[in-house]
Amino acid sequence: MSADVHRIAVFGGVYSNHLALAAAITDARERGAQELYCLGDFGAFGPNPDKVFPLLVDADVKAMRGNYDDSIARGLDDCQCGYTDPRDNYFARLSYRYTYRKTSDRWRTWMGELPARLTLDRHGVRVLFCHGSPRQMNEFLWESATSTQFLTYLGREYEADVILGTHTGIHWQRRLPSGGVFANVGVLGRPANDGRTDVWYALVDIATASGGQPQTRVEFVPVAYDHERLAAEMREENLPAEFIETITTGWWTTCLEVLPAKERARGRF
């Protein structure tokens, strides 16, 4: 990697998957990432939420607050995902109550003090880190449900060349007519509803090209981790069999109603 390339690793929702987070931190460092970012949603879904935070702090990950963290920190009643389906709401509540109960006050305070957005300016490229979208922490930006003209508007409105978000759980990117990029970096918490057990994060290279024009490249990286061990920890914590099935099969079993047609059709359920 040449000296004038700034490489960052960007992690999406961790969902208490401390094993995947540890594997991703190691992987990103091996790939030469100079900075690590995490876009929020540290808890949910997985076991023992408190195991995540020391990993973030020890690895000097620049962290920001997602809707889950916002809810937990403020003691809200739910995770602000906005489900209407009773089954989805049942699992979302169960997961939220477990995570709330198992997150210590120290880390609740810590996450409540995190910013809702971060920025980075390198080689003249303005990068904006957000959770859902720059304008709304819990906005779902799915590949098949987000027009390019809307992303162009966001870039203009929020004065960013590169916008990085998470929240949906499925990674994707789009190059914009302006030359900018939008990328949803995916999540470390659970697989991407693609039938494989790996989870995903994004490596972002910001460079000055030979003509002096800045260039940004986003690459998605699959992370293999000890998912069987995570499943065992989830069983020990009496988390739902439906969640464990997702970890061991790679297919989403819950919270499916918010998926648009194309993303839904790619899954098993």
Partner 1 sequence: MSGSALPIEPHLTRFGETSEAPSVALDHLDTLWFQVTGTICNLKCTHCFISCSPHNHTFEFLSLEDVESWLTRSADWGVKEFYFTGGEPFMHVDLPRMLELALERGPASVLTNGTLLPARSLDPIARAAERSSYSLEIRVSIDGPSAETNDPIRGEGTFERAMEGVAKLLAAGFLPIVTATQVWAPEVDEEVRQAFVARLRDVGYENPRLKILPSLRIGREALRDRGYDEYEHVTAEMLEDYDERQLLCASSRVITNRGVYVCPILIESETARLGDTLEEAAVPYRLDKPACYTCWLHGAICSNYGGIGRDVG
The stretch near partner 1 (CB under 8 A) out of 13-21, 100-108, 241-249, 256-264 is 256-264
Least Å distance, CB 7 to partner 1, is 28
Kindly tell me which residue out of 2, 147, 210, 238 binds partner 1, with binding defined by CB under 8 A.
147
Q: Closer CB to partner 1, residue 147 or residue 238?
A: 147
Least Å distance, CB 153 to partner 1, is 3
Burial of 82 (0-12, 13-18, 19+ CB in 10 A): middle
Among residues 136, 170, 155, the alpha carbon closest in space to that of 259 is found at 170
Residue 269 touching partner 1 (CB under 8 A): yes
- Applying CB under 8 A, the site for partner 1 has a residue count of 33
Cα 137 from Cα 172, distance rounded (Å): 18
Residue 159 touching partner 1 (CB under 8 A): no
Kindly tell me which residue out of 36, 111, 114, 154 binds partner 1, with binding defined by CB under 8 A.
154
Residue 205 touching partner 1 (CB under 8 A): no
Least Å distance, CB 178 to partner 1, is 12
The stretch near partner 1 (CB under 8 A) out of 19-27, 117-125, 140-148, 180-188 is 140-148
Residue 262 touching partner 1 (CB under 8 A): yes
Residue 150 touching partner 1 (CB under 8 A): yes
Kindly tell me which residue out of 5, 59, 176, 256 binds partner 1, with binding defined by CB under 8 A.
256
Please state the three-class secondary structure of 50-103 as a single string: HHHHHHHHHCCCEECCCHHHHHHHHCCCCCCCCCCCHHHHHHHHHHHHHHHHHC
Q: Closer CB to partner 1, residue 46 or residue 132?
A: 132
Kindly tell me which residue out of 2, 84, 210, 238 binds partner 1, with binding defined by CB under 8 A.
84
Kindly tell me which residue out of 5, 94, 145, 176 binds partner 1, with binding defined by CB under 8 A.
145
Burial 190-226 (b: 16+ CB within 10 A, else e): bbbbbeebbbbbbbbbbbbeeeeebbbebebbbbebe
Q: Show the beta-strand stretches assigned E in the chain.
A: 5-11, 35-38, 62-63, 118-122, 125-129, 162-165, 172-175, 181-184, 199-208, 214-223
Least Å distance, CB 180 to partner 1, is 14
Residue 58 touching partner 1 (CB under 8 A): no
Cα 108 from Cα 105, distance rounded (Å): 5
Among residues 5, 11, 60, the alpha carbon closest in space to that of 220 is found at 11
Check residue 105 and report its DSSP letter: H
Q: Which residues contact 21 (CB under 8 A, 6 or more apart)?
A: 11, 14, 52, 55, 56, 188
Residue 35 touching partner 1 (CB under 8 A): no
Residues within the interface to partner 1 (CB under 8 A): 77-78, 82-86, 89, 135-136, 142-150, 152-154, 156, 256-258, 260-265, 269
